[in-house]
């Protein structure tokens, strides 16, 4: 499919190439230069026909010439399982247990220790946040965020991945961003699938170890945002260990109320 881009796409593409992933075969198509304005939205609009999901791809160090991990081919699609093999609720509950029972010397903690971080839940997994009612068009929200994201990072390139949805594109491409938490990206794709359904989330951009989502129907009430924050902590604890100030679930949840973009970073 990737090799037939010219025949598949109506939107004109800038020069690019297929990025191999060793013996695993092609991982994605990557533009040679920055993504032109509106290109993400145009290729996303053709996804139903082409089966190619667009990603804005960032690099850990855009100036190093390698544009890692994309142009350097540091991708492992053959190592991943399938997102459909995993129960997202069970994954989040399991990660929650791991993070809340880990050695307290490993992470920066507020007064009161790990229990203060995850209050009011402590070590008890609170379960999934409720689905939000249908709201704005998720694809329109994603297109607007893609344009904004590219304006902030004008060096980002376009990637095209043969995947049924943005959640699956991470696994199909063999992205290893969360490898320090779990080396099977399909597990994260499984969680993203349910966020697509419950919150109208769309995968817009990826970096070396960062993930950027648009969210059409974020939580509106603080109590719902706290449950979403718990899912985020299980999915990517570094968002709170190293991102939130202070390092607590409650302070992080405040930022999720009516937040139409979610970002994740794994150390």
pLDDT tens per residue across all 267 residues of the chain: 555 555 556 666 778 998 876 665 667 999 999 999 899 999 999 999 999 999 999 997 767 778 999 998 899 999 999 999 999 999 999 999 999 885 555 555 554 567 778 989 989 999 999 998 888 999 999 999 999 999 999 999 999 999 999 999 999 999 999 999 999 999 999 999 999 999 999 999 999 999 999 999 999 999 999 999 999 999 999 999 886 667 899 999 999 999 999 999 998
Distance CA 247, CA 238 (A): 10
User: Which residue from 220, 234, 195, 223 is spatially nearest to 120, judged by alpha carbons?
Assistant: 223
Q: Which residues pair with 206 in a beta bridge?
A: 57, 211
- Separate counts of helices (H) and strands (E) for the chain: 11, 7
Residue 170: predicted pLDDT: 96
What are the two backbone dihedrals, phi and then psi, of residue 233, each rounded to the nearest 5 degrees?
Answer: -60, -45
User: Which residue from 12, 26, 54 is spatially nearest to 160, judged by alpha carbons?
Assistant: 54
Domain ranges within the chain, ordered by starting residue: 2-81+137-215+259-265
| Block residue for tokens 């060793």 | 22
The helix/strand/coil state of 225 is helix
Distance CA 172, CA 82 (A): 9
Question: Which tokens belong to 138?
Answer: 């998720």
Q: Are 5 and 138 in contact (CB under 8 A)?
A: no
The model's pTM is 0.91
Q: Are 249 and 117 in contact (CB under 8 A)?
A: yes
The helix/strand/coil state of 134 is coil
Question: Which tokens belong to 175?
Answer: 């992205």
């Amino acid at each position: 499919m990737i090799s037939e881009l010219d025949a598949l796409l109506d939107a004109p593409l800038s020069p690019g190439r297929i990025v191999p992933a060793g013996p695993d075969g092609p991982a994605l198509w990557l533009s040679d230069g920055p993504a032109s304005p509106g290109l993400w939205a145009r290729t996303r609009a053709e996804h139903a026909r082409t089966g190619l999901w667009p990603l804005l791809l960032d690099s850990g160090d855009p100036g190093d010439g390698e544009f890692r991990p994309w142009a350097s081919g540091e991708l492992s699609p053959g190592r991943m399982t399938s997102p459909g093999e995993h129960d997202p609720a069970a994954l989040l509950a399991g990660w929650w247990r791991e993070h809340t029972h880990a050695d307290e010397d490993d992470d920066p903690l507020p007064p009161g220790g790990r229990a203060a971080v995850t209050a009011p839940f402590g070590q008890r997994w609170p379960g999934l946040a409720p689905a939000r009612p249908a709201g704005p068009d998720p694809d329109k929200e994603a297109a607007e965020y893609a344009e904004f994201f590219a304006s902030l990072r004008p060096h980002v390139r376009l990637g095209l991945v043969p995947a049924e949805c943005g959640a699956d594109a991470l696994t199909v491409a063999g992205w290893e961003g969360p490898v320090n938490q779990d080396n099977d990206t399909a597990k994260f794709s499984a969680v993203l699938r349910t966020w697509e359904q419950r919150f109208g989330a769309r995968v817009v951009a990826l970096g070396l170890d960062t993930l950027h989502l648009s969210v059409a129907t974020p939580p509106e009430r603080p109590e719902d945002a706290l449950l979403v924050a718990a899912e985020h902590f299980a999915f990517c604890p570094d968002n709170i260990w190293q991102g939130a100030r202070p390092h607590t679930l409650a302070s992080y949840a405040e930022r999720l109320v009516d937040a139409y973009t979610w970002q994740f970073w794994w150390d």
